[in-house]
Structure formats: C-alpha cells, structure tokens
Amino acid sequence: PGHTPEHIAYLVTDAKARSPMGIITGDFLFVGDLGRPDLLEKAAKIDNTAEASAKALFSSAQNLLGWGDRDHLLVWPAHGAGSACGKGLGAVPHSSLGYERLQNPALAKVREGQKAFVDHILSGQPEPPLYFARMKALNRDGVPLLPKLPEPRRLSVQELGTVIEEGRLLPVDAREAKLDFLSRHLPGSLFAPFSSNFSTVVGSLVEDPSAPILLVIESDHEEEAIRRLVRIGYDQIEAVVHLDTLARYFFEGGKSASIPTIDFAQAEQLRKKGAAVVDLRFKHEYDSGHVPGAIHAPYTRLPELLKDIPASSQIVAHCHAGLRAAVSSAYLQRKGFKVSAVNDHIDHYKEIRD
C-alpha cells in the first residue's frame, strides 16, 4: 500500500533488458516527499483511517529503503510542485530512487522509527481541495469518456459583451498577474492563475463541475488549461476569451468589476473599525500566529466555510503574501461579500503588531 490501501506502483522494464529501469510511483513516492495518508479521512470522510494509513505507508517506505541495489531506478511520480497530494513536492518532474533515498525528508523520517514518521507525515499537511472527495468517487466508479478535448468557441469583443449580459457562463480568469485581475475583471469572475496551482484553485472554488465555463486565458496556454480542467472533471468549457480580446473589451467600455487592495497597516485599521478578517492560509500557518479574531478559512475549503463569514461585514481577506487572498476575494465577491484583498507579506503584519 501507498498513501491509501488500494495504491500500487509499477516497475517498468524495457523489453530488451533483464532488470527494471524505473518505477511509476503514483502518489506513494514523490520527488522530495511521500504521499499523504490522511486524505481518506480528510477528503473522503472515512473516519479513523489517517493513522492506520500512515503506519502502512511507513512499512512500504521501509521496504523501499531496503532496495539498496536498485538506486539506479528512475522515479516517475503522479504529481509535482503545486499538488495538494503532499506538503513538500519538488519542482522537477522525476528523480531516481538513489537520490530520493539520500535527499527525501519523508524517507529520512522513516529511519527515525514509526512514531517519528507518523507524526511527521500527518502534521502540516495542507487542507485538501474540495474536489478531492469527488475525484475519489470518480476514480472508483469511472467517468464518461470524452472522444477529444472540448473545443470552446473563441469570443470576439461583441460576443463577449453578449455573454456577459446573458450571465449564463461562469468566468474563470486564468491571468497570471493578480494585480491586473484585482484592478479589472469580468463581473462574477473567479480568479485561478494559470500556474502549478491552477487545478487546485478551480477544484476548490468552482463548486459545480457541470457549470458552463468562460475561460479567460493567454492564447498560448489555452490547450493546456483546458486539458487540466478536463483532468479534474470540468468538461463544460463553452467559450474562451484571449487577453487581447479582453483588453479591447475593457477599452471599449465593457462591463467590469474590481477588488480593492490594501496592505496590512490598512487591514489593521479596518479590523479596529469592525471589519471581519479572514485568514486563507492553511492550519499549520494559522497556528503559527494570526491576526486577533481572524476567521480561519483555508482557501481550498472556502465554500464549506462560507457560513462562518458574516455577510453584513466588510471583509478583509489575507494569506501569506497575497495570492490566495486574491483568489479567495474573487470567490467572496462573486458570493456578494464586500471584500478587500491584502496584497502584502505576513511579515509586515508582524512588524506592525510588534
């Protein structure tokens, strides 16, 4: 077993070779980390499975460390940096077993014994995106097969205006520059910057996978963005707007919205005047220190925590350095909240507090 009881890995052998050349490790062994054994409990809501899965993962990792004669094996994991399937995944796509035996912090914990390993692997894990539970069921039960990738229509300025007036499509804005988005975006947009976290953001904040999507994206990234959406079950991509079209639409007076940006000094002033501060960081970050009275709502679980945020209050959304605050502010604005996004580093708040 890997991070879940049913997990398997595959040794790969060239047809002309006598011994394996690599191992497809799935979500068991990553570059720089091991898979997280808490997902059955946290995402799929299967009680009392995290510790048992962690102990099973320990045994599997122990066996792997015993493969001293197989350090040459290439390691091909299922995920890399940006995935919520671990807490420290490396940015390179593959590795070798020998390198991981030397450098992987999670494997190093195995050498310290079961308790040290279980404590390490279960602590500090990011809150899983909401779509993980749905993906677990889809992977088990199967999904409708698509004959090809969706081919959404590319909108002109005039067509974009019509679509916005109709209000049927959900705008998902994948621009990479958060300040560009915050200063001007299509009304009702969700913000999912096209980066390694793109799938995590969409899977966390687009609650209905059948929602018809209007994708705002650079033309060079269109196909890859669509592919990533389909891989997590978002197939209804009906239209695309490229950034040059979006710029012309705004220039010609098209409808837009914006979200105010503030720093931590301004956020503190608003808090003292009664604004509700929402901390979008993960639990281990929040526990390390937070704004007094802040509502903790990790961005990957924001829809299910919306009930904890007062609808009648001015909302101040912050994270560590501003990106998760921008993503979450767009969601909150779409839900009708009056929100400001803190575009500032948390260390600045610590200076103000001290």
SS (H, E, C) 318-344: ECCCCHHHHHHHHHHHHCCCEEEEECC
pLDDT at 122: 93
Picking from 120-134, 166-180, 295-309, which range would have the lowest pLDDT averaged per residue? 120-134
pLDDT averaged over the chain? 93
Pairing of strands 338-342, 314-318: parallel
pLDDT at 232: 92
How far, in Å, CA of 200 to CA of 185, rounded? 21
pLDDT at 251: 98
Exposure string over 124-151, b if 16+ CB within 10 A, otherwise e? ebbbbbbbbebbbeeeeeeeeeeeeebe
- pLDDT tens for 71-84 read 999 999 988 877 77
- pLDDT tens for 184-237 read 999 999 999 999 899 999 999 999 999 999 999 999 999 999 999 999 999 999
The runs of H, that is alpha helices, within the chain are 39-42, 50-65, 97-103, 105-110, 114-122, 131-141, 157-166, 178-183, 198-205, 222-231, 243-251, 264-272, 283-287, 302-305, 323-334, 346-353
Which residues fall within 8 angstroms of residue 89, CB to CB, at 6 or more apart? 30, 31, 32, 33, 77, 79, 80, 81, 82, 83
Instruction: Dihedral sign for Cα 32, 344, 353, 287, please.
Output: negative
Other beta carbons within 10 angstroms of residue 69's beta carbon come to 8
Average pLDDT rounded to a whole number, residues 308-330: 97
pLDDT at 224: 97
All domains of the chain, ordered by start, with CATH? 10-125 (3.60.15.10), 132-251 (3.40.250.10), 261-353 (3.40.250.10)
Q: 304 falls in which pLDDT band (50, 70, 90)? A: very high
- pLDDT tens for 24-59 read 999 999 999 999 998 888 877 788 889 999 999 999
- pLDDT tens for 253-297 read 999 999 999 999 999 999 999 999 999 999 999 999 999 999 999
Whether residue 264 contacts residue 348, with contact meaning beta carbons closer than 8 Å, is answered with yes
pLDDT at 73: 95
Strand order in the sheet with 276-279: 261-262, 338-342, 314-318, 276-279, 295-296
pLDDT at 5: 83
pLDDT at 80: 83
Picking from 85-89, 178-182, 323-327, 348-352, which range would have the lowest pLDDT averaged per residue? 85-89
329, pLDDT greater than 90: yes
How far, in Å, CA of 202 to CA of 229, rounded? 8
Strand order in the sheet with 22-26: 10-12, 22-26, 74-77, 95-96
2, pLDDT greater than 80: no
The DSSP string of 162-189 is: HHHHHT-SEEEE--S-HHHHHHSB-TT-
